[in-house]
Amino acid sequence: MVRRAQISLRRLLLIEFLVVAAILASLLYLAVRFVAGQAVDKMQDNLLAASALTIAERLSLIDGEIVVDLPYSALDMLGVSGQERVFYRVHAPDGETVTGYDDLPAAATTIADGKPAFGSHTYRDAEVRVATVRNTVMDRRVPVPIHITVAQTRESLTKLSDYVALSALGVGFGFLMFAGVLGAFAVNRALLPLKHLASSIASRPPEQLEPFDEAAPKEVQPLVNAINRFIAKLKSNLDVTEQFIAEAAHGIRTPMASVRLQAELAEREAHAIGRAETFSRLVRSVDEVTQLTNQLLSNATVRYRSDRGERGAVDLFDLAHLAVNDSRIAAEHRGIDIAIVEEPGANLMALGDELSLLEAVRNVLDNAVKYSPDRSEIALRLADAGVLGLRLSIEDHGPGIPQSDRERVFERFQRGRHSDHILGSGLGLYIVRQVMLSHGGRALISDNRPTGTVVTLELPAKAET
C-alpha cells in the first residue's frame, strides 16, 4: 500500500495565519512608506516655500532694475535641515535670470502671488525638490511678475523616509513573528478538542463499544457521528458473531454429551477386547470439545450480561460457596481440600452481576484445581480492602505462573507453560478478565509460598448495606 502524504491541519492553519499576517505587514510597510514620503515632501515643501517667500520679500525695483537682497536666512535655513545642496534662481518675466543658478528649472509657470508651487526635477545629477513663488512688483504702475525658485536635494530626506519605512518593515516583521507565535498557540488551542477526542478514543478499552457522547466542537461533530455510526455497525457485527457462537456452542453441547456417553459405553465394552486406550483418547477429545463449548458459551453469556450492565448486591461469601460446590467433585476426586477463609465480621456485599462474577470465580477455582497437585490445599480468601473495595483471592500449590506469562495468560486462547497435559480451552482467564473489567476491577496474579499461584480478584464496587 502506498503511504499517502499526511496533511497537517496545524500546519495548514498556521501557514494561512502567517500568509495573512505577512500580507498585513507588507500593507503596513507600503502604507507607512507612502505616508512617510508624503510627510517628508510636505516638510521639505514648507521649508522651500518659506525660503522662497523670504527672498520674495526682499525684491525691489530701483530705476527699473530688479534688485534682490538675498537674505542670509533664505539659504541658511535650508542648511539647518541637514546636509542638502541648495539652488536658487530669481528670474524676470522675460525669463532672464536676475541672480542665482541660470539653468535651474522652475516648478510651474503660471502661479499666483504668494502661493508657492512645487515640483521635482533632476538638476546637476541630483534629484531636487523645487518651490517657486511669484512676487509682482510695480514699475511705474506696470506690474512686473518675478519668479523666485528655490531647490534642494533630497538625499537625507529620502534616507529619512526610507528609514521610517524600514522601521515600519521591522515592526511588521516583528508583528509577523509575534503572529506566528500567537498563531501556533491559537491553532494548538483550536485543535485541543480533536486531541482530546483522539486520546479518549485511544484510552477506550477494546470491549467498550458505546457511542461517544462527549461534547465535541461543531466542526468535529460529523467525524464523531461517523465514528459512532462505525462503532454501532461494529457492535452489531460483533453481536451477531457472538450470538452465532453461543447458538453454535449450545447446539454442539447436547450432541457432544450424547457422543461422550456412547463413547464411555463403548470404552467399557472395549476393555474386554483390549482396545480401551483408543476409546479413552476419544473420551478425552470429547471432554476437550465440551470444555471449549462451555467456555465459549459462558464467554458469550458474560459478554451479554456485561453489555446490559446488570447490577445487584452480591454476597461474595455465598458466591464462593457456590463456586466451591461446583468444583468439589473434581477436587475430592484428587484429594484436594478447598477452604474458604473470610475475615470475621467483614462486609462482603459487592455490587455487580452475580452470574458473571460466579463464572469468573468458578473459572479461577477450576484452574486452581486443575493445576494443583493431588492431596494439596486450595484457599479461597475473602477480604474487605476498605476504599479499594472487596478482594477475593484463590491460592493454590501448583507449579505457579512465571512472571513473563502473567499478562499473556489473560489473553484469548493463550495458556501457561505448564498446561500441556492439562485440559483447557485458553478462554478461562480471558473470561475472568472480561468480567473484572466490566465491573471496573482487575485480576492479578502473584506467587504463593512455597510454590503455587495466587489469583486475586479486586472488586471496587461495594453494595450499600
Partner 1 sequence: MKTNSLPGAVVPKPSSSESIAADPVVMLLLCLLFVVPSVFAQFEEVVEFPAPIGRSGAAPVQLIGTADLDALRPVILAFQRRHPGVGLVYTQGSSNVVYGEIAKAGKTAYDLVISSAMDLQVKLVNDGYAQAFRSANTERLPTWAKWRDSVFGFTLEPAIIVYDTRQFPDGDIPNTRFDLIRFLRDSEDKLRNRIATYDPEISGLGYLFASQDSLRTNSYWRLMEVLGGLDVRLSCCSGEMLRLIETGEIAIAYNVLGSYALARKERGSPIGMILPSDYTLTMARSALIPSKAPSPDLAGIFIDFLLSDTGQRVLTREARLNGALRENAESSEMFSGFSGQLAPISFGPGLLVFLDRSKRARFIAEWRDAVRRK
Q: Can you give the binding site for partner 1, defined by CB under 8 A?
A: 67-72, 74-76, 78-79, 83-87, 98-100, 124-126
Nearest approach, Cβ of 159 to partner 1 (angstroms)?
Answer: 13
Nearer to partner 1, 67 or 265 (CB): 67
Distance, in Å, from the CA atom of 284 to the CA atom of 272, rounded to the nearest integer, reads: 20
Nearer to partner 1, 104 or 358 (CB): 104
Q: Which three cell numbers stand for residue 297?
A: 458459551
Nearer to partner 1, 82 or 389 (CB): 82
Measured in residues, the chain has a length of 465
Q: Which amino acid is at 417?
A: R
Nearer to partner 1, 87 or 430 (CB): 87
Nearest approach, Cβ of 71 to partner 1 (angstroms)?
Answer: 7
| Residue 53 contacts residue 167 (beta carbons within 8 Å) | no
Nearest approach, Cβ of 26 to partner 1 (angstroms)?
Answer: 33
Distance, in Å, from the CA atom of 135 to the CA atom of 146, rounded to the nearest integer, reads: 5
Q: Which three cell numbers stand for residue 83?
A: 546636509
Nearest approach, Cβ of 38 to partner 1 (angstroms)?
Answer: 25
Nearest to 453 by CA among 403, 408, 397: 397
Nearer to partner 1, 35 or 126 (CB): 126
What string of DSSP letters covers 33-75?
HHHHHHHHHHHHHHHHHHHHHHHHHTEEEETTEEEE---HHHH
Distance, in Å, from the CA atom of 347 to the CA atom of 354, rounded to the nearest integer, reads: 17
Nearer to partner 1, 68 or 431 (CB): 68
Distance, in Å, from the CA atom of 353 to the CA atom of 435, rounded to the nearest integer, reads: 9
Q: Which three cell numbers stand for residue 138?
A: 510695480
Nearest approach, Cβ of 96 to partner 1 (angstroms)?
Answer: 13
Nearest approach, Cβ of 63 to partner 1 (angstroms)?
Answer: 14
Nearer to partner 1, 86 or 107 (CB): 86
Residue 61 pairs in a beta bridge with: 66
What string of DSSP letters covers 83-112?
S--EEEEEE-TTS-EEEE-TTPPPS-SS--
Sign of the Cα pseudo-torsion (422, 316, 253, 426, in order): negative
Distance, in Å, from the CA atom of 175 to the CA atom of 18, rounded to the nearest integer, reads: 10
Give the strand pairing for 86-91 and 117-123: unpaired
Nearest approach, Cβ of 115 to partner 1 (angstroms)?
Answer: 25
Nearest approach, Cβ of 86 to partner 1 (angstroms)?
Answer: 4
Q: Which three cell numbers stand for residue 367?
A: 484452574
Nearer to partner 1, 126 or 209 (CB): 126
Nearest approach, Cβ of 124 to partner 1 (angstroms)?
Answer: 5
Distance, in Å, from the CA atom of 295 to the CA atom of 267, rounded to the nearest integer, reads: 26
Nearer to partner 1, 93 or 222 (CB): 93
| Residue 463 contacts residue 351 (beta carbons within 8 Å) | yes
